[in-house]
Amino acid sequence: MMRFQGIAVSSGVAIGKAVVIGQDVFSIPSQYVAADAVEQEISRFHQAVETAAKAIERNRDLVTQELGPKSGAIFQAHLEILRDQKIHADIERLIREKQYSPERACTEVLRRYADVFRRLPNPEFAERAYDVMDIERQLLRALLGEPRRSLSHLTSPAILLARNLTPSEVANLDRKMIKGFVTELGGPTSHTAIVAQGLGIPAVVGTGPFLAEVAGGDTVIVDGDRGIVIVHPDEETLREYDQEVRSIQAFTAELEKLHDLPAVTLDGTPINIYGNIEFPHEAVLCLKHGAEGIGLYRTEFLYLGRSDLPSEEDHYRAYREVIEAMGDRIVTIRTFDLGADKVAAQFGFEKEPNPCLGLRSIRLALRHLELFRTQARAILRASVLGNIQVMFPMIATVAELRQAKLIWADVMEDLAENGIPFRHDIPIGIMVEVPSVAIMIDRFLDEVDFVSIGTNDLIQYTLAVDRTNRNVVSMYNPTDPAVLRLIAYTIQEANRKGVPVSLCGQMASHPLYTMLLIGLGLRKLSVTSSAIPEVKKVCRSVTLEQCERVARRALEMENARNIHAFLREQLVKVVPAFARMI
């Protein structure tokens, strides 16, 4: 039995026979072209671009249909790289000036771009090198007429093992035959990982070299929760994982039964569970899982992946789709949170040394008032269609909040003067994600109708840790005592003043923290749609007294590691099935 440790990127357990595939190796018949054939070869290159574009568009449409626009946007980004005029010019220059063949020119230019990505210190950007390599393979296949690696010969379920897989290769996997996959390369934020998560294929990446140790037909276990790959498992290990697979299936079936049941504790305390969405179509998924409304509608997607700015009608249509899907349920729209790691090309941002501390979010909105006003107009117009509220992200000072509210009021006045209908009583709230707001929360509560705690940034700013930096990401910890004190104080003050408070960061979506948050006094959670059944399961398995006892004990502890271990112990006591998932 051999055991390899990699990076868990898509949860679940898969057991099957190994299918080992190697890296594509393209045989380029000619490195150079004759001088009188240059224009013909450039034309052949452009034909290859169109052929590759059609293949990428098929992948985009396939993934979008199954998983929605968020995953499909990965391939839309591939299309934009493929059609980038600067890349085309570089390739054409090599063909014209050095008489390189299109195949060689494509390889040289795209690998140079990939190397630039690899050298970037931010691991999320560095992993975009794999996307560029995917585009290189698409172009070479189109130029050489070579088919992609085929798995059509499979007649029984298998585990796919490879040095690396591109997003397009994962998107085209036959899920009836491929039960899981393992790659030697790759990271947790790669687009390959994101597509695997969306398709629900258990996957482990970044194991390092191991293919030489495996032969086709070997039994392999992929543990997508722990990042473990086992080759030639002994009978005892195989029995243990067989049992885990059955347990996971049984627990999943149990969670599905909770859809129409309320999230209420054993002693009758109701907990409101809302959904977080990034794209309009996700509202339907939230309803499918039993959400009571939308607690966070991120609107950055309207700006990303396009060369122009969204119009007021673009905004309005996106909001209308969600509001109509949710009926009379609450829809909380957050104004755009651009900047930092969400950069829209059309803004032409100058490079900032500390973008997370720079011109982002509400600061950007207050600098570019025409954009802020366009979004505000669309939200207000859509308000007549349903039950909405709006919140401003990354507020840091009371003055900033008042300025945003002043602009909001000014847009309302303009609409009224022009006879455009809108609701005058839309609740206005803020995200609590900057420590200054949590510390001064009593002052902010007098200015808003509700607050929502955004733990992703609150943790980052409280601990001075860039959550995308692999050198310090281990210090990014939701259970740090300082973070818990800020959360506890915010909830305490909001409850004292009777201002509705929710939590919409990733913390809310993890069942490990549910008991703690309820014990701290939180009664509204906004989570990713897939996490709704798990969080609801915890709510229905505990009493308020249990949760308050857990919260008191956690606040007494001095370090994050001990708090995390304590929360895990308490969760497993009430829902043993979570033991392998956290």
- Enzyme catalytic residues: 191, 504
CB neighbours of 306 closer than 8 A, spacing ≥ 6? 346
Tokens of 367: 């600098």
d(CA 529, CA 130): 29
Tokens of 149: 């690696």
How many CB atoms neighbour CB 17 within 10 A? 15
DSSP 305: T
Residue type, 519: G
d(CA 364, CA 329): 30
Strand 2-5 relative to strand 228-231, pairing? antiparallel
Tokens of 109: 């230019």
CB neighbours of 578 closer than 8 A, spacing ≥ 6? 511, 512, 534, 571, 572
Strand 293-297 relative to strand 272-277, pairing? parallel
Q: What is the DSSP string of 322-346?
A: HHHHHTTSEEEEEPP--BTTB--GG
CB neighbours of 215 closer than 8 A, spacing ≥ 6? 18, 20
Q: DSSP 3-state assignment of 7?
A: strand
DSSP 351: P
CA-wise closest residue to 71 among 171, 138, 151, 220: 171
C-alpha torsion 242→246→249→254, nearest 10:
-150
